[in-house]
Amino acid sequence: MREPFIAGNWKMNMTPSQGAVFAASLKDALKGSRTKVMVAVPFVTIPAVLEVLKGSNIIVGAQNMSDQKSGAHTGEISALMLKDLGVNTVILGHSERRAIYGESDSFINRKVLLAIAEGMEVVLCIGETLSEREGGHLEEVLTSQVTEGLKGVSAEEMKKITLAYEPVWAIGTGRTATPEDANDAHAFIRGLVAKLYNEGVAEELIIQYGGSVKADNVAALLSKEHIDGALVGGASLSVEQFLPIVNFGA
Ligand code: PGA
């Protein structure tokens, strides 16, 4: 049985003071919730949010990190810095990193391997653009993103990996994949992981769906066999919208 995992990705929103206020109301709202929840917070906002969320089950994650451990990498943040704060989960390969900042599968793979080597958990994002989907390249794109992104990750280390299937055309657009289309993509990804590893690893793997997840579509998406959670952008920035997503099954 796969435990649902709901993550909010704040992207470049919430200053430290705003994040602290928001985290306090989220902590209050989620009191008693048993769903696995994470908020992925801008780097500088992490300490304030961690402080407020002390004693709660809400995981505080990062949205990115360097592919290098330390050294002359101006403007970068390393796994060691995140761990020192107490952050043990990082989102890698988000489509905005790929599209806006030119991150390639091999670059993302270096980050994945570093995070794993440092004992961190990873939410690895994958997903096709609209033209890739319409051009019939969905499976090809997912195959290369999964294969390249996970290169060198062992079956044992796959316990540290969550995949997030986020069709790029559904992110921030209000256009959600239908539960059936999303489930088909998730089933394909799980099949691929079974081929790359084995059935056991594939069965246990949590695959989140992301792309305009809202209170009114979350239950239909998560009712599907292969959809095990959600990575939520816009709707994670309001407690009123995020709460029913976390409590989708209640
Ligand atoms: P969205 O973002 O929910 O605003 O579409 C999802 C994401 O980018 O993770």
CATH of the domain at 68: 3.20.20.70
User: Residue 110 contacts by C-beta under 8 Å, 6 or more apart in sequence?
Assistant: 67
CA dist., res. 241 & res. 98, Å (int): 27
Asked if residue 171 has its Cβ within 6 Å of ligand 1, the reply is yes
CA of 168 to the centre of ligand 1 (A): 9
137 is catalytic: no
CA dist., res. 163 & res. 194, Å (int): 14
**Number of helices followed by number of strands (H, E) in the chain:** 11, 8
The single-letter DSSP state of residue 183 is H
Give the atom of ligand 1 at the shortest distance from the alpha carbon of 171: 5
pLDDT of residue 172: 86
Q: How many domains are there within the chain?
A: 1
pLDDT of residue 249: 74
Give the atom of ligand 1 at the shortest distance from the alpha carbon of 173: 5
Digit-by-digit pLDDT tens for the chain (250 residues) are 799 999 999 999 999 999 999 999 999 999 989 999 999 999 999 999 999 999 999 999 999 999 999 999 999 999 999 999 999 999 999 999 999 999 999 999 999 999 999 999 999 999 999 999 999 999 999 999 999 999 999 999 999 999 999 999 998 888 888 999 999 999 999 999 999 999 999 999 999 999 999 999 999 999 999 999 999 999 999 999 999 999 987 6
Distances in whole angstroms, Cα of residue 53 to Cα of each of 17, 162, 232: 14, 22, 19
CA dist., res. 107 & res. 218, Å (int): 32
Asked if residue 249 has its Cβ within 6 Å of ligand 1, the reply is no
User: Residue 54 contacts by C-beta under 8 Å, 6 or more apart in sequence?
Assistant: none
CA of 104 to the centre of ligand 1 (A): 20
Q: Range of 231's domain?
A: 5-248
